[in-house]
Chain A
Amino acid sequence: MDSAAALKAAHAVPGVPQDDDGPVFKEPWQAQAFAIALALHERGVFTWNEWAATLGDEIKRAQAAGDPDTGETYYMHWLATLERLVAEKGVASREMLTEYRDAWDHACDRTPHGKPIELTPADFAH
């Protein structure tokens, strides 16, 4: 996985915000979400065509629901696409995603500020 793979992805998927050097991100989580898609693509979980079609569908769906379509929300759609594709491909169900999201939320709440937030089995009991 290298910058060439990232550039290729940015060309294969319409709308990826980028400059001359490749994709640009406004917040760290956006780069993480981008990197996760790249990794799953390399593992053969989906093709870029498949990804682009699903992302396009998520964007349409969001716009129908009132998304401003300014580009600001692009990575929100990207994240929704990731969640949908991992569920559709049987990698992780919606229930599992929710369960882990809630566990992280719990881990976050019990972690004093400035300490690394770590997930433990106890976080799943809530």
Chain B
Amino acid sequence: MAHDHDHHHHDHDHDHSELSETQLRVRALETILTEKGYVDPKALDAIVEMYETKIGPRNGAAVIAKAWTDPAFKKALLDDATKAVNTLGHVARVGDHLIAVENTPQRHNMVVCTLCSCYPWEVLGLPPVWYKAAPYRSRAVKDPRGVLADFGVTLPKDIEIRVWDSTAETRFLVLPMRPAGTDGWSEDKLAELVTRDSMIGTGLPKNPTELKS
């Protein structure tokens, strides 16, 4: 490592935000280069956004598809998502305190907060840029239906919308409802229906008719 300076550690009471040593170094670089006019943060976001749908969401989709087809796995996932996800060999190890919340005909779940380390990128990929924006977070809490409408999702009035605010200790994954008309589908085929947004709760899985056969 290029740096030798001492890392001073603070008492972490988990009330404040946390960034890893590496994240701090990247932020330092980005801030200096932005101030000096070498980089445009918007251009950086654009590059990051190009890749945000790669890797992670595929892992997450595999997890969701398995939960749709395997009741024992689904139960394990809802009991302890970290443990359940880590039993799947092909998925990157996820950090502690991942909680899966299940959508039902009565309740839709939506997750907010990606401001520090609370975003489960192992299963969701890189956080979408819009998700990091402060307006999204505050609006999602105050007006979840309005935010969902912006994403083109309109839910019946009698469905309760529950907004989960991640903390330093807990990160959330939404388990969407399995779309109708998918009886007998394989896990691989089901996984194609699972979008990143459906696992954050700002979208729904694709319809079987949206898949090219």
Contact = CB atoms under 8 A, between A and B. Distances in A.
B135 to A, nearest CB: 10
Contacts, number: 158
A117 B115 contact: yes
B30 A97 contact: no
Contacts of A23: 51
Interface residues of A, number: 54
B139 interface: no
B2 interface: yes
B30 A114 contact: no
Nearest to A75: B22
A46 B9 CA distance: 35
Contacts of A117: 17, 19, 115-116
A86 B25 CA distance: 13
Main SS of the interface on chain B?
A: loop
B126 A104 contact: no
A19 B23 CA distance: 25
Main SS of the interface on chain A?
A: helix
B194 interface: no
B59 to A, nearest CB: 11
Given A92-B33, A98-B5, A104-B27, 10 more contacts: A26-B92, A29-B20, A43-B39, A79-B22, A79-B25, A96-B32, A101-B28, A112-B17, A113-B116, A113-B167
Interface of A: 1, 3, 6, 19, 21-29, 31-36, 38-40, 43, 45, 58, 62, 76, 79-80, 82-84, 86, 91-92, 96-98, 100-101, 103-105, 108-117, 119
